[in-house]
Amino acid sequence: MHRSSRILIALCAAMLPLAVQAHPGHESHAGFLQGVLHPLSGWDHLAVLLCLGVVAAGRGARISTLCGGLLVLALGGGAALGLNWHVDFVEPAIIATVAACLLLLAFRRRISAGAVLGLSMAFAAIHGIAHGQEAPAGDLAGYFAGFTLAGVALYAAGLLLASLRLPAQNGAPSTRRQPGKSPASR
């Protein structure tokens, strides 16, 4: 497992208890800015969307793009569903998505592309339902557009994070591939 993955897993695991508190504290009036700020200030969104970006990045550009598009659809569909459907399991389900994403990240090489796509949609739908249930009064279209845009940005940050290769620690040789050189010639 790469060092960047271990760091992300450790950070997300350390923040897991905070996921319970990610949704309370909405503003009294919905708008685009509140929608953008909500995912950026909730540990659950940060953990899930960054992890999904890292996992999808390992599946190539086609799956990464498809996963990003499905995330948008699932977030929006979940939010629309949540406006009219109140369920009590949403917060425990959100905590489960954070824990599941950490496992998904840890075992990402063993999980099929179809499973990544399906789990991504399920996780995004659960978070969308929570957004719909807890949406403040006001400009709901702006609010939903804001949290969707911020969600896509966090997912893209996960894709970028996956492309980073951190240098080895403690003088250990780097495992970074160098163009034109085989691992044996390093």
pTM of the prediction?
0.75
Token pair in block for residue 114: 């179809």
With respect to residue 3, please indicate whether it lies within any of the assigned structural domains: no
With respect to residue 180, please indicate whether it lies within any of the assigned structural domains: no
Tell me the residue range of the domain where 106 lies.
Answer: 31-164
Tally of domains within the chain: 1
With respect to residue 18, please indicate whether it lies within any of the assigned structural domains: no
In degrees, rounded to 5, the angle at the alpha carbon of residue 130 between the alpha carbons of residues 127 and 136 is 130
From first to last of its 186 residues, what are the pLDDT tens digits of the chain?
566 666 666 666 665 555 444 444 455 677 899 889 888 888 888 999 999 999 999 888 999 999 999 999 999 999 999 988 888 888 899 999 999 998 888 888 888 999 999 999 999 999 999 888 888 778 888 999 999 999 999 999 999 998 886 454 444 444 455 555 555 554
Residue 92 burial (CB count, 10 A): 10
Residue 79 burial (CB count, 10 A): 25
With respect to residue 55, please indicate whether it lies within any of the assigned structural domains: yes
Measured on CA atoms in the order 54, 68, 44, 26, is the torsion positive or negative? positive
CA distance 6 to 8: 5
With respect to residue 98, please indicate whether it lies within any of the assigned structural domains: yes
With respect to residue 7, please indicate whether it lies within any of the assigned structural domains: no
Measured on CA atoms in the order 174, 155, 146, 89, is the torsion positive or negative? negative
